[in-house]
């Protein structure tokens, strides 16, 4: 939602601040007063091409800034975060309860009198397209220069999908499509192998065979190197362990030995201390010696097992040969055996995709057919929902157009399924017909071609959107479309600001009242700003701003006429509505203005 629009030195506007209401805001003023400059400001902060001709005479630059209140979980905030200009995790120490989950985005644009314009998002310079992408999630302008937005098939499809509320069906199709793309790529790799691809497959197969022949186990090389070290130092180990055991417990070396070892000495010391029937230090010392003796017993047990180990010195050559084999593997695919094994496993998957054997081709072809059938089924389900929504949406829009002084106008939405194109056939070497290509009916968005066809007046042929009718008629068509989907917009769509220009062109009387009423209805779910010259439309607004020219400069002065933008309330608004009704502010027109304002309520 647009909270504030500030403009400086843009055309005839020297300085202006617009604070639109959350609902409907009307911008009024005499023809030529400069209302279009406010739309130009919004287009600038929306990433439109900047024109130095819009810079006020004598000014160094023009500047416009829009402050938007947005949902921190919405698309606009996400884009700003991706651009590195917004930290949605940064929390205020004492936030307003009504502002929790909300963020402010500052979009500004500077247009110098000479040189390049500068786009700024939340105080950070950004590329113009970044500003445009963020603004596209916040502002939709419906004016004569902006109607081509819905002229593209992709935009029409997106709009229809929103009306159809087909998110679940689109997600199901997207998953099927992505799976089909993956398998199709594998099929393409297998059937279109080049020499380098075959060489890669041969290398992978030979490498896998070499690794499997050695059959390495994780950590095996380190275990073998430790075993080799023990074999090579067996004599020293036996002598050292024997001497240690003799000192600790001689019975482990010679069962007939009467020599007292360290363990026996500690046991004797413990017994001696236990005979002292005085607590304190003696008992503590005995406890510590018992703990030490337990550790000593574990050490003796471990060492005695080593004495019994018979290292096979004759197997040293076999150990060295195995270590050499493993070292060759780690040298080529290492640095560790774990890396070698991981490389082999990954290579096995890769070689499957590169395997162009007839059996493999048929296997992938079958997978491809199955994935295609799943995608087609998901696409058909999506298509059915689109067709139902297209009929309902077109009927609703046509009814709305009748109420907007466009009786006889209509909208048709065509959802046309693409058919599987005929296979191209060419003569083979033996004169037989061979299939060379197939055009698929699917793309990333389904199986449908979407087309919006507008009939602007009775007897007119159906014409594509954006290529028919006047700016006012198209603006009313867009209003009818927006009204038709207002209740189906996703959570957070209240962040969207709709701006209508020329929507009242060619409208008057009762139709003008209906137009204002429908704009006010749309404003119940989204912020609406309308530039209008009709009092019957402006009277429905929650707030009204008047754009007016200043006084003419004195004779001989070169100072330009400045334009002001002021909100009108109370009696000032009644006077403005009266001016719009009759061009005067007589007692009769003021009475009519008050009556119109009183009656303009939903």
d(CA 15, CA 287): 91
68, part of any domain:
yes
Residues 277, 263 contacting (CB under 8 angstroms): no
d(CA 15, CA 561): 13
The reply to whether 510 and 594 lie within a common domain is: no
Using CA atoms, how far residue 574 sits from 60, 513, 585, in Å, is 38, 17, 9
Residues 563, 34 contacting (CB under 8 angstroms): yes
Q: How many folded domains does the chain comprise?
A: 3
CB-facing half-sphere around the CA of 254: CA atoms within 13 A:
10
**Structural domain ending residue among the three candidates 331, 353, 371:** 331
The reply to whether 143 and 251 lie within a common domain is: no
Could you tell me the CATH number of the domain that includes residue 72?
3.40.50.300
Residues 454, 439 contacting (CB under 8 angstroms): no
CB-facing half-sphere around the CA of 369: CA atoms within 13 A:
6
d(CA 520, CA 601): 9
Q: What residue has token string 């640095």? A: 335
The reply to whether 513 and 581 lie within a common domain is: no
Per-residue model confidence (pLDDT) at position 560: 64
The reply to whether 488 and 586 lie within a common domain is: no
**Structural domain ending residue among the three candidates 331, 366, 396:** 331
191, part of any domain:
no
392, part of any domain:
no
Torsion angle defined by CA atoms of residues 225, 227, 229 and 230, in that order, rounded to the nearest 10 degrees: 170
The reply to whether 261 and 140 lie within a common domain is: no
Q: What are the two backbone dihedrals, phi and then psi, of residue 431, each rounded to the nearest 5 degrees?
A: 85, 0
The reply to whether 144 and 1 lie within a common domain is: yes
Look at residues 515, 524, 532, 506 and name the one whose alpha carbon lies nearest to residue 478.
Answer: 515
Look at residues 467, 476, 463 and name the one whose alpha carbon lies nearest to residue 407.
Answer: 476
Q: What are the two backbone dihedrals, phi and then psi, of residue 369, each rounded to the nearest 5 degrees?
A: -60, -45
Q: Distance from first CA to last CA of the chain, Å, rounded? A: 22
Ordered DSSP codes for 336-355: SHHHHHHHHHHHHHHHHHH-
* Domain with 583 in it: 572-602
Q: What is the pLDDT of residues 386-417, one digit of tens each?
A: 999 999 999 999 999 988 888 889 999 999 98
The reply to whether 133 and 235 lie within a common domain is: no
DSSP state of 488: G
The reply to whether 526 and 579 lie within a common domain is: no
Per-residue model confidence (pLDDT) at position 106: 96
442, part of any domain:
no
The reply to whether 94 and 230 lie within a common domain is: no
- Which residues are within 8 A (CB) of 84 and not within 5 positions of it... i.e. 6 or more apart? 124
Rg of the chain (C-alpha set) = 42
Which token pair is 291?
């703990």
The reply to whether 561 and 581 lie within a common domain is: no
Using CA atoms, how far residue 74 sits from 47, 79, 321, 328, 480, in Å, is 20, 9, 65, 56, 25
In SS3 terms, 421-439 reads as: CCCEEEECCCCCEEEEECC
550, part of any domain:
yes
**Structural domain ending residue among the three candidates 311, 331, 351:** 331
Q: Which residues pair with 108 in a beta bridge?
A: 65, 120
Residues of the chain with pLDDT under 50: 91-94, 422-438, 491-492
Q: What predicted TM-score, i.e. pTM, was given to this entire model?
A: 0.66
Handedness of CA 170, 173, 177, 178 (dihedral sign): positive
The reply to whether 135 and 225 lie within a common domain is: no
The reply to whether 600 and 563 lie within a common domain is: no
DSSP state of 468: S
């Amino acid at each position: 939602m647009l909270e504030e629009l500030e403009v400086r030195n843009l055309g005839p506007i020297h300085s202006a601040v617009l604070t639109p209401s959350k609902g409907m805001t009307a911008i009024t003023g005499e023809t030529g007063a400069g209302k279009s400059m406010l739309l130009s400001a919004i287009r600038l902060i929306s990433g439109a091409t900047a024109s130095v001709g819009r810079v006020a005479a004598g000014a160094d630059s023009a500047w416009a800034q829009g402050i938007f209140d947005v949902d921190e979980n919405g698309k606009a905030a996400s884009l700003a975060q991706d651009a590195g200009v917004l930290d949605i995790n940064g929390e205020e120490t004492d936030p307003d309860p009504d502002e929790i989950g909300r963020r402010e985005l500052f979009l500004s644009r500077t247009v110098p009198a000479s040189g390049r314009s500068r786009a700024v998002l939340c105080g950070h310079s950004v590329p113009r397209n970044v500003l445009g992408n963020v603004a596209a999630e916040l502002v939709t302008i419906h004016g004569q220069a902006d109607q081509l937005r819905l002229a593209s098939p992709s935009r029409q499809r997106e709009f229809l999908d929103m009306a159809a509320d087909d998110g679940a069906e689109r997600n199901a199709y997207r998953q099927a499509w992505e799976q089909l793309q993956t398998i199709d790529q594998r099929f393409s790799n297998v059937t279109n192998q080049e020499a380098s691809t075959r060489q890669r497959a041969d290398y992978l197969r030979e490498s896998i065979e070499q690794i499997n022949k050695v059959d390495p186990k994780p950590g095996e090389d380190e275990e073998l190197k430790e075993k080799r070290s023990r074999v090579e130092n067996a004599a020293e180990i036996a002598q050292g362990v024997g001497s240690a055991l003799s000192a600790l417990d001689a019975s482990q070396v010679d069962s007939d030995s009467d020599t007292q070892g360290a363990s026996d000495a500690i046991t004797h010391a413990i017994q001696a201390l236990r005979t002292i029937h005085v607590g304190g230090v003696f008992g503590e010392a005995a406890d510590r010696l018992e703990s030490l003796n337990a550790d000593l017993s574990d050490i003796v047990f471990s060492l005695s097992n080593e004495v019994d180990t018979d290292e096979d010195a004759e197997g040293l050559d076999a150990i060295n040969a195995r270590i050499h084999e493993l070292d060759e593997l780690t040298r080529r695919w290492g640095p560790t055996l774990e890396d070698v094994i991981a490389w082999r496993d990954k290579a096995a998957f890769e070689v499957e995709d590169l395997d162009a054997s007839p059996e493999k081709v048929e296997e992938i072809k079958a997978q491809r057919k199955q994935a295609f059938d799943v995608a087609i089924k998901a696409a058909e389900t999506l298509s059915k929902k689109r067709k139902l929504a297209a009929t309902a949406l077109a009927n609703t829009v046509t009814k709305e157009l009748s109420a907007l002084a466009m009786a006889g106008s209509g909208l048709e939405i065509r959802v046309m399924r693409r058919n599987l194109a005929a296979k191209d056939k060419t003569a083979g070497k033996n004169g037989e017909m061979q299939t060379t290509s197939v055009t698929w009916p699917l793309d990333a968005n389904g199986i449908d071609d979407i087309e919006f066809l507008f009939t602007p007046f009775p007897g007119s042929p159906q014409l594509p959107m954006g290529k028919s009718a006047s700016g006012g008629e198209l603006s009313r068509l867009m209003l009818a479309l927006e009204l038709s989907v207002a209740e189906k917009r996703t959570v957070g769509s209240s962040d969207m600001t709709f701006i209508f220009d020329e929507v009242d062109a060619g409208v008057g009387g009762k139709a003008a009242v209906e137009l204002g009423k429908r704009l006010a209805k749309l404003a119940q779910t989204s912020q609406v700003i309308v530039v209008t010259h009709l009092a019957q439309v402006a009277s429905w607004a929650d707030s009204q701003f008047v754009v007016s020219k200043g006084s003419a400069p004195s004779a001989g002065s070169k100072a330009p006429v400045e334009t002001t933008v002021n909100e009108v309330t109370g009696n000032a608004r009644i006077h403005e509505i009266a001016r719009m009704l009759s061009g005067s502010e007589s007692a009769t027109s003021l009475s009519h203005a008050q009556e119109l304002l009183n009656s303009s309520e939903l």
